[in-house]
Amino acid sequence: DIQMTQSPSSLSASVGDRVTITCRASQSISTFVNWYQQKPGKAPKLLIYAASSLQSGVPSRFSGSGSGTDFTLTISSLQREDFATYYCQQSYTSTWTFGQGTKVEIK
Amino acid sequence: QVQLQESGPGLVKPSGTLSLTCAVSGGSISSSNWWSWTRQPPGKGLEWIGEMYHSGTTNYNPSLKSRVSISVDKSKNQFSLKLSSVTAADTAVYYCARRDATGWFDPWGQGTLVTVSS
């Protein structure tokens, strides 16, 4: 299975901050990475697919980049509603796997 | 738009079989998508369980393959999960989701907590 490792596991940030979350794959996966946001007690929500494509309805302050083994999710100006846990997921092989999550907390 | 809703018992006894159903509304289960199950133990991350195409083709996580069965009922526009020989380690929130052909999951059901306990 392809392992997806996120860093950091958690971070504290303030409203208006630029936030970057990293996801590293255990092997090269081209741009087959997707990003999700999960709020407490809620289902994950797709934010970014194919490494950099913004899902319909997702604010433009979210962006994704990367290829090969290293990927990033960036929130350009953190808003209060963005405090949540973020997961990456590889879609390169059909045993789909997720990163362990990055919790974004209020500083 | 497509919506999914999980249903099933919230409590299952150890060594028993967990059975859940996901009802699909706003779209046909016979569309060109896969229909999947993912779980999340309390306070932990996401683990993909398996999926089915409307033709009956399945794809399971190798770590769970010996215990998992996913089926589809086109007449009811729903699909189901069965997980056998459960233990406390199978306690989790179980989510159904549609998987796009290129691999991302959207939308998701709201999730249902299943506790394995005697």
Q: What is the pLDDT of residues A33-65, one digit of tens each?
A: 999 999 999 999 999 999 999 999 999 999 999
Amino acid at B63: S
CA distance, residue B98 to nearest chain A CA (Å): 11
| Rounded Cα–Cα distance for residues A29 and B86 (Å) | 33
Nearest to A43 among B95, B99, B102 (CB): B95
Query: What CA dihedral angle connects B101, B104, B107 and B109, to 10 degrees?
Result: 110
Nearest to A95 among B62, B102, B109 (CB): B62
> Cβ of A49 and B105 within 8 Å?
no
What is the secondary structure of B14-53 as a DSSP string? TTS-EEEEEEEESS-TTSS-EEEEEEE-TTS--EEEEEEE
Are B112 and B7 within 8 A, CB to CB?
Answer: yes
pLDDT of B31:
87
Q: Which of left, alpha, beta for B49 (phi over 0: left; psi -120 to 50: alpha)?
A: alpha
How distant, in Å, are the alpha carbons of A101, B8, B68, B81 from that of B54? 31, 21, 17, 14
CA distance, residue B117 to nearest chain A CA (Å): 21
CA distance, residue B108 to nearest chain A CA (Å): 6
Provide the token pair at A93: 């092989």
Q: What is the pLDDT of residues B78-103, one digit of tens each?
A: 999 999 999 999 999 999 999 999 89
Nearest to B61 among A36, A42, A95 (CB): A95
pLDDT of B95:
98
Alpha helix segments (H runs only) across A14-106: none
